[in-house]
Chains A and B, each alone.
Chain A
Amino acid sequence: MKETKSILFVGVGGQGIILASKILTEGLVKFGYDVKMSEVHGMAQRGGSVTTQVRFGEKVYSPLIGVGEADVIVSFEKVEAVRWLEYLKPGGTLVVNDYEIYSVPVLVGTEQYPEGIIEKLKAAVPNTKMVDAAKKAEEIGNIKAQNVLMLGTLIKALGLTGLDWESVIGELVDKRFYELNIKALKEGMSV
């Protein structure tokens, strides 16, 4: 792959976005790509929106993705998909978790959580993949595995299924959750 690919992960603190990006990154390194990953945390840990950016290719310079430049946006929460949508490249893929997390202004009723997000996203972006990741992860055994499930869907979308992702997961997640995460990965890949 000559051209650099850009993946933007977005969601809310605590959803496991950083771990998912880390697994992706390590896998891409094993593939032999030059990879750069950038994350924003700090204040954002306290219930704010969290993003990580992964860029890979033959040689990567900037760790940052610009507006209209992401090949794929992986959104762990519906509203966050809308917030970051302008970063998606024309013809790019949007992977979105059908999951809501209310922010405090919404919780206390000063702002509204919008309706019909998925329908509107699907109408606007032809390559929208909706994943019921939270629900499916819960069915598998733990909602926390939604991050790896989302990752599975991304791997499929990127056409990177040929790599031994199970061993990458084995290196990066707690042994106790290995089986659960492998199940989540496979489930994600099958979407």
Chain B
Amino acid sequence: MKKMLSGNEAIARGAWEAGCTVAAAYPGTPSTEILENITKYDGIYAEWAPNEKVAAEVVCGASIAGARSLTAMKHVGLNVAADPLFTIAYEGVNGGLVFVTADDPGMHSSQNEQDNRYYSRASKVAMLEPSDSQEAKDYIKDAFEISEKFDTVVLFRVTTRISHSKGLVELGERNEVGVKPYVKDVKKYVMMPAHSRVKHIEVEERLKRLKAYSNDCFLNKIEWGSKNIGIITSGVSYQYAKEVFGKDASYLKIGMTYPLPDLMIKKFAKAVDKLYIIEENEPFIETEVKNLGIDCIGKDFIPLCGELNPDIIRRALLPVEEIQTYSVDVNVPSRPPVLCPGCPHRGIFYAVSKYKDIISSGDIGCYTLGVVQPLGVTDTCICMGASISAGIGIQKASMMAQRNAKVFSFIGDSTFFHSGITGLIDVLYNNSPIVTCILDNSITAMTGHQENPGTGKNAKGEIAAAVDIETMVKAIGFKNIRVVDPYDLATTEAAVKEAYESTEPFVIITKQPCALIKEVQKKRAHLSCSIIEDNCKKCKVCLRTGCPAISFRNGKIVIDKEMCNGCGLCKQVCKFNAIEKVGE
């Protein structure tokens, strides 16, 4: 049976068909739907871990214990999980072990554009790269086979365009491989120096065997067309190349990106007149081809930055044709992303926006949007968890420079569990009088509402223990903790003022669930705010909250009743009692 599946859905299906029994992940676009879909299959234990390192370590343990196991993460997630990756690469596996990295060329929703093919070379493990949904499903099965055959973890690389585009996939049945027996083997599974030194030699030997495999495995294949042009390509770039050149070129399609098939490359290069390397972002294949002493054309013409598409390839490698299209003389207003109507984060950002002499350290999540005007609070954003630790650095540097050293750090509940907690320990340990604002909206919101250790539900939606953030912060040893409802502006402002004036480390926890959670939407459906026109002085202070439900139209302030969820922040900032709450 054939079914339309996204790359991520296909990976989940492939894992199930391959007899995978343990999966763990932390959500991150574009990888999130992999674990979400795995939870729908019986026969696989699936969990959201607090971060990618933990998820990776869970599946490493499961593999050692004999289970075919898979973890999935976005490209930057592999930075977090790099530590276990490099050592499980030495230990090898028992049950097949696959790490999926979903890279984001074009940075549709990421803070950088890293090419994780380099991780396979750095950690010396095999890498597979599918070029559509069908291959995403098939290659996962091959990845488990290769993992067990060569005693290696397999890195499985997809990109946004593979993860989030759909194609037809032929479905198969599950191959019940069971869980292999575990045999105690400390030389294999305890990486202390004496054991690791032996293992490193084995890893190098394994790479040679993998290279020999790469040279005659079906994952790398030549498709002969016109021999005037030869194209070496991998992943979605293969589809773009086929779209542009069709039968006017021959293709060496790389499905196993590391180690690359050197003999196959030499044979292919010899048979064609002109050799192009078509790949997104880094010249990963190109460098290797050039190292073999083969002339080729790649990044001289094809851009290194941004996502590739057929247009770019056409313009880079074929004679330029004028593109015919339409245009109209209309000034198109921008449509930047924004905190949702009724978003509970708005209250604390509004309260902090009054202080112009602070530095505000942001983090990864919806609340990164605290940077957007008119709130314009956030000054920095690096990576998951960095709000608190970078905040410490900002405070220390400012102190050394004898500038105002007041720092407000903003972090969400899921990010706090991910990697905020260690930074917070440092705040207290190294006595940094910064204000850590933990914005607890009871969900991992930005990636589409995944559960986390604080929500009281697990990945399958079953009831789970809920970790209480306030208790955790107390346990670290914080004395100055305020828990506030961010819909209550007066209390929130009072806490912010107190924190601003404090000379000690300070934590503000805001508690109010995400406005987009279904139950919240249902509960607040009848609530809204509306303008009392007689009282409105059109001072536009309400617009400064940055709520998309409030607008200034035809000389009047208007609140869109459909969008508004009655959070009442605008009512609280209005000095003229011109806003009333309806539906209570």
Contact = CB atoms under 8 A, between A and B. Distances in A.
Q: Is B truly associated with A?
A: yes
Nearest to A66: B311
Contacts of A49: 335
Could you say which of B108, B335, B372, B446 has the most chain A C-beta atoms within 10 Å of its C-beta?
B335
A48 B325 contact: no
Given A68-B325, A86-B325, A105 B333 contact: yes
Nearest to B543: A108
A64 B309 contact: yes
Contacts of A107: 543, 548, 550-552
Interface in A5-39: 12, 25-26, 29, 34-39
B326 interface: yes
Contact of B333 (A42, A43, A88, A114): A114
Contacts of A79: 330, 332-333, 335
A60 B311 CA distance: 16
A90 B108 contact: no
Contact of A114 (B2, B109, B132, B330): B330
B310 interface: yes
A40 interface: yes
Interface string B546-557: 101011100000
A66 B310 CA distance: 7
Contacts of B324: 68, 89-90
B16 interface: no
Give the dominant DSSP class at B's interface: loop
B333 A120 contact: no
Interface residues of A, number: 59
Contacts of A114: 330-333
A61 B239 contact: yes
A29 B239 CA distance: 20
Contacts, number: 171
B330 A117 contact: yes
Contacts of A111: 333-334
Interface in B86-103: none
Nearest to B341: A47
A37 B324 CA distance: 24
Nearest to A78: B330
Given A35-B167, A43-B109, 18 more contacts: A34-B168, A41-B29, A42-B109, A45-B337, A47-B338, A48-B335, A48-B336, A63-B161, A66-B309, A66-B310, A68-B325, A83-B332, A87-B325, A104-B338, A108-B552, A116-B330, A120-B328, A125-B326
Interface of B: 2, 4, 29-30, 108-109, 132, 161, 164-168, 236, 239-240, 242-243, 309-311, 314, 323-340, 366, 369, 372-374, 446-448, 540, 543, 546, 548, 550-552
